[in-house]
């Protein structure tokens, strides 16, 4: 069975500081990993995904994530946070065993303080 854990309900960082939003996963087979962001009163927006290849994935708005197979993690990072990055971030996983079942985490609320 697939599962995703986002261990932090909330992350607080100061503007200009680096940010990390954590995600660990469990899946049978090779994982496909995703990060999405949700702003207030909006649907989820795609940030980046890992399918195969380079473990460091670069995405939209300066975000990146590193796939770590041994630690089954896919943490989201950004070198310098902006106030406008404040939002709800979701990690998601699916397995390369076929099917459309993507499992999402509970989300992590990011607050960036000016």
Partner 1 sequence: ETGVTQTPRHLVMGMTNKKSLKCEQHLGHNAMYWYKQSAKKPLELMFVYNFKEQTENNSVPSRFSPECPNSSHLFLHLHTLQPEDSALYLCASSQGTSGGESDTQYFGPGTRLTVL
Residues that bind partner 1 (CB under 8 A): 4, 9, 32, 34, 36, 41-46, 49, 51, 90, 92, 94-107
Is the Cβ–Cβ distance between 23 and 76 less than 8 Å?
yes
| 100 vs 114, beta carbon nearer partner 1 | 100
Task: Write phi, then psi, for 62 (nearest 5 degrees).
Answer: 80, 5
Q: In whole angstroms, how close is the CB of 16 to partner 1 at the nearest point?
A: 29
| 83 vs 106, beta carbon nearer partner 1 | 106
Q: In whole angstroms, how close is the CB of 77 to partner 1 at the nearest point?
A: 20
| 15 vs 49, beta carbon nearer partner 1 | 49
Report angle CA 91, 94, 99 to the nearest 5 degrees: 145
Residue 53 DSSP symbol: S
Chain centre to alpha carbon of residue 98: 22
């Amino acid at each position: 069975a697939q599962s995703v854990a986002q261990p932090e309900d909330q992350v607080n960082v100061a503007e200009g500081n680096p940010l990390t939003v954590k995600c660990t996963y469990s899946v049978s087979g090779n994982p496909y990993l995703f990060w999405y962001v949700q702003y207030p009163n909006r649907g989820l927006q795609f940030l980046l995904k890992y399918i195969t290849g380079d473990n460091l994935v670069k995405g939209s708005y300066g975000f990146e994530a590193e796939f770590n197979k041994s630690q089954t993690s896919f943490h989201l990072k950004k070198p310098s946070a902006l106030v406008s990055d404040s939002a709800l971030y979701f990690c998601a996983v699916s397995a390369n065993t076929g099917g459309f079942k993507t499992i999402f985490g509970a989300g992590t609320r990011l607050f960036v303080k000016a």
